[in-house]
């Protein structure tokens, strides 16, 4: 979570989009910035619980493929309405799965079964596989740029995460002519991440502040 927030804060310096894929060393759950900790703690047994810098509901991170996207202010994605950027990122994910012969669809409407839980039911434009939600996202848009945090709960098919990540890159190259470069973060960025970890995301008083 600290790295993702630092990516957003770095957008005025870097002025280019960043796509980050990452995983988890142990089962955990993140929850939306505006959710109440006590309610979250009652709804999932996963620990630790970490408050995200974006909105949304509870996301389990026990077997998912996690990613984040950051765009600088003024970028086309930053200028989109929230519903439009939400749909676009899921069209991207859908196209990546299609390249791998996995058929999915975007939810035409919302179906809520457990309020506050991201993968119980679905929202409009979530990615569905055989009627089940497999991809959702949350956003934070401000004067610095746009941060999208997303989770893919992979369908039970013979598909490696690395294949999906490569497909995501290929789709972006074809649709938006993106040329991918490995990110080499400067010391200022790493220092900011460490400060966010120690001063915010690793602190119980922050995660439990509501």
The reply to whether 28 falls in a domain is no
H-run or E-run covering 180: none
The reply to whether 43 falls in a domain is no
The structure's pTM equals: 0.95
pLDDT at position 119? 87
pLDDT at position 182? 94
**Mean pLDDT of the region 161-165:** 97
Alpha helices, DSSP H, located in 63-104: 76-79, 82-99
Q: Which domain holds residue 104?
A: 2-22+65-207
The reply to whether 54 falls in a domain is no
Q: Using the predicted structure, report yes or no on whether residue 120 has a pLDDT greater than 90.
A: no
79-116: pLDDT as tens digits: 999 999 999 999 999 999 999 999 999 999 999 877 66
Q: What is the CATH number of the domain that holds 112?
A: 3.30.930.10
φ, ψ of residue 105 to 5 degrees: the values are -145, 160
- Selection from 45, 75, 67 nearest residue 145 by Cα: 75
Q: How many CA atoms lie within 13 A of 140 on its CB side?
A: 19
* Catalytic residue status for 204: no
8-57: pLDDT as tens digits: 999 999 999 999 999 999 999 999 999 999 999 999 999 999 999 999 99
Among residues 8, 29, 96, 118, which one is catalytic? 118
pLDDT at position 112? 83
| Residue 111: CB atoms within 10 Å | 14
- Number of compact structural domains in the chain: 1
pLDDT at position 205? 96
**Mean pLDDT of the region 163-179:** 96
Q: What is the mean pLDDT of the chain?
A: 95
The reply to whether 162 falls in a domain is yes
Calculate helix-pair angle for 187-196, 2-14, nearest 10 degrees. Answer: 140
More confident residue, 52 or 62: 52
């Amino acid at each position: 979570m600290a790295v993702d927030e630092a990516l957003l804060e770095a957008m005025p310096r870097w002025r280019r989009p960043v796509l980050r894929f990452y995983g988890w060393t142990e089962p955990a759950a993140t929850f939306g910035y505006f959710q109440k900790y006590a309610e979250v703690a009652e709804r999932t047994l996963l620990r630790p619980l970490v408050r995200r810098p974006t909105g949304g509901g509870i996301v389990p991170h026990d077997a998912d493929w996690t990613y984040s996207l950051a765009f600088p202010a003024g970028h086309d994605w930053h200028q989109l309405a929230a519903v439009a950027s939400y749909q676009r990122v899921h069209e991207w994910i859908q196209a990546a799965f299609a390249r791998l012969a996995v058929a999915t669809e975007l939810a035409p409407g919302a179906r809520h079964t457990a309020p506050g839980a991201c993968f119980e039911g679905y929202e409009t434009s979530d990615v569905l596989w055989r009627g089940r939600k497999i991809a959702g996202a949350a956003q934070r848009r401000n004067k610095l740029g746009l941060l999208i945090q997303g989770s893919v709960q992979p369908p039970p098919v013979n598909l490696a995460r690395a294949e999906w990540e490569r497909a995501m890159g290929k789709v972006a190259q074809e649709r938006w002519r993106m040329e991918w470069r490995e990110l080499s973060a400067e010391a200022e960025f790493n220092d900011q991440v460490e400060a966010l970890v120690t001063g915010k995301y690793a602190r119980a008083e922050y995660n439990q502040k509501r």
